[in-house]
Amino acid sequence: MMTGFPTLFYKEVLRFWKVALQTVAAPVLTSLLYVLIFANLLDRRLEVYPGVPYAMFLIPGLAMMSALQNAFANSSSSLIQSKMTGNVVFVLLAPLSHLEFLGAYVLAAILRGVIVGAGVLLVAVPFWAPTVREPVWLIAFCVVGTGTFGAFGLIAALVVDKIDQMAAFQNFVIMPLTFLSGVFFSIHSLSEFWQKASHLNPVFYMIDGFRYGFFGVSDVAPQISISITLACFATIFAIAFVLVARGHKLRA
Amino acid sequence: MTAAIELAGVNKQFGTLQALADVDLTVQQGEFFGLLGPNGAGKTTLISILAGLARADSGVAKILGHNVRTQYRLARRLLGVVPQELVFDPFFTVREALRIQSGYFGLRQNDDWIEEVMHNLDLTPKADSNMRALSGGMKRRVLVAQALVHKPPVIVLDEPTAGVDVELRRGLWAFIKRLNADGHTVVLTTHYLEEAETLCGRIAMLKEGRVIALDSAANLVRTLHSLQLKVRIEGVFPEQLRIEGVASLGDFHVIPLRDYDELEPTLSVLRTCGCRIVELDLQQPDLEDVFIHLMSRDH
Ligand SMILES: Nc1ncnc2c1ncn2[C@@H]1O[C@H](COP(=O)(O)OP(=O)(O)OP(=O)(O)O)[C@@H](O)[C@H]1O
Ligand SMILES: [Mg+2]
């Protein structure tokens, strides 16, 4: 039987692509500013791993952070807007399974995350010469990480009632999680307490693993990082699935 | 034959408010069915339960035999709903919105039908306009079109003519009647009672979540046995006609009659008492009278 999944996915992609200036170009520019400020200031003084200068260290982390943030932003803003304007009814009336509904939003979020991440890497080319040592790990961390945040964004949009609650969610949960994940520094440079604290943040493993894809070196073994990332994805996805299946705040 | 719509023992509560109370309702295939009731009666709630937008606390709802909870994908495929709220997706043009809606139902090569629907709803000139740029009535037409993209055998329209001009109203009903003639079942809610009276074969009246009447418009009107005889007379109004329900204003009198049989005797009393009839009008009740009568009565 023909399904509505490809159309919902296509619609979700079209939604951000039609306003790509705001959904893709803007976050890429923000990351470029970080690169300009931090990498230029600190490059000469820091070598994070042997033979890995600070700019090289910073750029993949920034790309991954932007990818995660934008994956979250995509599904969360799309669904909350549809809920607020009421046009989510068009999807709710359609014969989509819960998995199709969830999958379309999450895949679109992954795509936006990947596009933004790639954009960050691209504009940063003048500042570093990227070498990809472990492409499979790179792709795995990128896809599973953005998938996790895409599903997380869907959960956020399902549980909150208003746009300003969503803004709070973004500022108090997503920003700290992604900024305090070792994007700007190797956690080995931190005190023991903060090293331990960083290990509790799942985003740390996503960023660290993504970086491994480039350098073949990381703070934590990639096998451990991918396990944690996958476990995170499975948990978040399962919660999102239950909420969608229940029609939580979607169906009265 | 399987019923187009079947509701059995459906209850729905919002907090302490009983929005639907033990609703049993069957709509047969091919019917043009009216769902009437005052604001807050539960019409939209009932439709939402059919569409899976709301969940009944108890009871069963089926579309063409498919349970809307356990077989929701099949049930939704067979149902087209025009929502009451004027909602739209500001990201898309009319044609895009219709293609996307069609795609949600798994129909990706559906342009012929989409063009036909747009044509019938006079939307073709606006096909490439952004949804945001449409007037309210135009947005309503798009909502109707979206409900029809997958040619659903059961069509439910929740106040489709609210805020819609006369011309479209005619065009819309002509189109819906044609679909009905082609075998589509149509359920309609409206606050324009004459609309329901002319279009609908059967009508259910809902009040405070209960179905309080269910019959053809003609039969419903017939239950309201009050013809109204309005007369303007010269002379003194006979005392023996001052029965319950008579209203007088100067030489103008309104006499309720149970049926046509009472007409002749009433006129004969007027004549024998020496009244001269200057003006006479016999008014039959319409659906609106039935509606007001039913809604004002305690149930
Ligand atoms: N999501 C909801 N939460 C709380 N109460 C609700 C909800 N939806 C409907 N109600 C209440 O249920 C009752 C029935 O509402 P419903 O929308 O079904 O009425 P209606 O017959 O469609 O009225 P109208 O003619 O105004 O459209 C109303 O009292 C309404 O306030
Ligand atoms: Mg309503």
* Predicted local confidence at residue B241, as pLDDT: 86
Give A61-84 pLDDT, tens digit per residue. Answer: 999 999 999 999 999 999 999 999
- C-alpha–C-alpha distance, residues B59 and A20, integer Å: 47
Cβ–Cβ < 8 Å for A167, A173:
no
> Does B249 or A94 have the greater pLDDT score?
A94
Contact list, A83 vs chain B (CB under 8 Å)? none
DSSP type of residue B238: P
pLDDT, chain A, mean:
92
- Check CB contact under 8 Å for A8 and B53: no
The b-or-e profile of B179-202 (16+ CB within 10 A means b, else e) is bbeeebbbbbbbeebebbbebbbb
Q: Does A45 have pLDDT greater than 70?
A: no
Cβ–Cβ < 8 Å for B191, B199:
no
> Does A94 or B235 have the greater pLDDT score?
A94
From residue A130, alpha-carbon distances to A31, A56, A121 in Å are 16, 8, 8
Residue nearest (by alpha carbon) to ligand 1 atom 5 = B14
In a domain, A232, yes or no: yes
The rounded percent of chain A whose pLDDT value lies above 70 is: 98
The single residue listed with the structure tokens 């055998």 is B153
> What spacing in Å lies between the alpha carbon of B190 and ligand 2's midpoint?
9
β-pairing, B247-249 with B17-27? unpaired
DSSP type of residue A219: S
Q: Does A146 have pLDDT greater than 90?
A: yes
Q: Give the total number of structural domains in chain A.
A: 1
Cβ–Cβ < 8 Å for A48, A211:
no
The rounded percent of chain B whose pLDDT value lies above 90 is: 70
- Check CB contact under 8 Å for B55 and A251: yes
Mean pLDDT of the A232-246 span: 98
pLDDT tier at B1, thresholds 50, 70, 90: confident
Least confident of A54-58, B105-109, B213-217: A54-58
* Predicted local confidence at residue A55, as pLDDT: 80
ipTM of the complex: 0.91
- C-alpha–C-alpha distance, residues B141 and B236, integer Å: 57
The single residue listed with the structure tokens 């009278």 is B289
> Architecture of B5-221 per CATH?
3-Layer(aba) Sandwich (3.40)
Helix spans in chain B (H): 43-51, 72-77, 94-104, 111-120, 136-148, 166-181, 193-199, 217-223, 263-272, 287-296
Report the alpha-carbon angle B106-A239-A141, nearest 5: 85
* Predicted local confidence at residue A248, as pLDDT: 96
- C-alpha–C-alpha distance, residues B13 and B10, integer Å: 10
Residue type, B77: R
> Architecture of B224-296 per CATH?
2-Layer Sandwich (3.30)
Give B148-200 pLDDT, tens digit per residue. Answer: 999 999 999 999 988 888 888 898 999 999 999 999 999 999 999 889 999 99
| Mutate: best of A7, A12, A83, A246, partner B, most B CBs <10 A | A7
β-pairing, B17-27 with B185-189? unpaired
Q: Is the CB of A1 under 6 A from ligand 1?
A: no
Give A160-174 pLDDT, tens digit per residue. Answer: 999 999 999 999 999
**Token reading at B68:** 């809307």
* Predicted local confidence at residue B202, as pLDDT: 97
Least confident of A66-75, B179-188, B227-236, B245-254: B245-254
The pTM for the full model equals: 0.89
* Predicted local confidence at residue A1, as pLDDT: 55
- Containing domain of residue A101, as a range? 5-42+51-246
Give A123-138 pLDDT, tens digit per residue. Answer: 998 887 778 899 999 9
**Token reading at A187:** 């956690």
Mean pLDDT of the B221-237 span: 82
Q: Is A252 on the interface with B (CB under 8 A)?
A: yes
In a domain, A141, yes or no: yes
Give A147-160 pLDDT, tens digit per residue. Answer: 999 999 999 999 99
From residue B38, alpha-carbon distances to B30, B44, B206 in Å are 26, 11, 8
Give A208-230 pLDDT, tens digit per residue. Answer: 999 999 999 888 999 999 999 99
* Predicted local confidence at residue B29, as pLDDT: 98
> Does B294 or B180 have the greater pLDDT score?
B180
Residue nearest (by alpha carbon) to ligand 1 atom 29 = B40
DSSP type of residue B25: E
* Predicted local confidence at residue A127, as pLDDT: 81
* Predicted local confidence at residue A56, as pLDDT: 83
Q: Is A98 on the interface with B (CB under 8 A)?
A: no
- Check CB contact under 8 Å for A4 and B106: yes
List where CATH 3.40.50.300 sits in chain B: 5-221
- C-alpha–C-alpha distance, residues A111 and A20, integer Å: 13
pLDDT tier at B298, thresholds 50, 70, 90: low
* Predicted local confidence at residue A63, as pLDDT: 96
- Check CB contact under 8 Å for B89 and A86: no
Mean pLDDT of the B78-104 span: 96
Q: Phi and psi (nearest 5°) for A118?
A: -65, -40
pLDDT, chain B, mean:
92
Give B4-63 pLDDT, tens digit per residue. Answer: 999 999 999 999 999 999 999 999 999 999 999 999 999 999 999 999 999 999 999 999
DSSP type of residue B233: E
